[in-house]
Structure 1
């Protein structure tokens, strides 16, 4: 028997939370509730975080954006943001915070359940990737199952978007990929069409994180002006002698 997915509902308005919990329970999920940002962050940073989180932006204590930012250091499980601030969608989805989807208030509970199903369905192939081999280039290793990266044995904390971008670049070492090509891989099934600023922001973060984890401070990603970016690993010792 398959264990139902755990869905964390982070909502401070009890009436709204009760409706969502009821709909999710009837849809076959195992819903849980957090009424404030601090409680939500404790759940998201626990050893076994929820399979998916519905995260309201406006929360007492720690707001939803800060919860999202901190949670992404610990889990890459899907986080769907619920917001009334439509103008913030670019920031929530396209740039540094790493939400997997968003829902604008007011919403229909049936729409929320449909979004949950869609996000988990997109996530299923990643869970099945546990049997796949790791993708590696020298000291840099990407774990397909966990969406994690290690450099010289040190875990590099990446958001899911950053991980997918890095995987695409690593699969084509020293080949220059355009922003349009990278967008296709980093934003599959995105609820809106992201722009190239999103790629630039992720690449900036990726370069900084990889450089910080490299004892030699090597810049693993090269910018090609007017074209795009390339994965540029350090030359092996034998290459340097040739």
Structure 2
């Protein structure tokens, strides 16, 4: 019997699980590489920016363009890559209230991405390993980082100087601390904010000025498909 050769860009995957019938799936090489990147070791390395990691948004973003989405996706932890993003809070939809922001995340146990646009059209924010909540103590892990697109993208990761990742107060949200300042601070009305150098992330001010006025905020969560509502 003659064997037909498959094109170079095609891969055949054979699946066999206990208790189920084995099956074959044919995919292209690009998809094969993408799957390998998702299931590979979670050891962090500086990711390459490629179209393969462009996130799928379940909702429209008013603050991030396609390039910014791709850039952020490529800098998130490996465990979040390949999964859809779901909008859990937006000032445009839910009004400007830190209390509402906390309430919308009350049932989450997944990481969140905070996106801020100030009145000078600067976009910046934070990735938090834990959803935002009111807490007496700081919470989060070393996956948490600050970022800015002012003027080019830059991520400010954990320096290991302290563990002041996130602390939610009823009247303010604080990300990063220690030294002489707070990395990112938002008030109860999500109208005023500030950003200064902190020991947690060793970041400069994320906007053009230390104190800024907020135009809009979005918070996204990144979850496995089976955990999405």
> Considering the TM-score relative to the shorter chain, is it more than 0.5?
no
So what's the TM-score if we normalise by structure 2?
A: 0.31
Whichever of the two has the greater Rg, that structure is 2
Q: RCO greater where, 1 or 2, for CA within 8 Å and sep 6 or more?
A: 2
Decide which structure has greater strand share. 2
So what's the TM-score if we normalise by structure 1?
A: 0.29
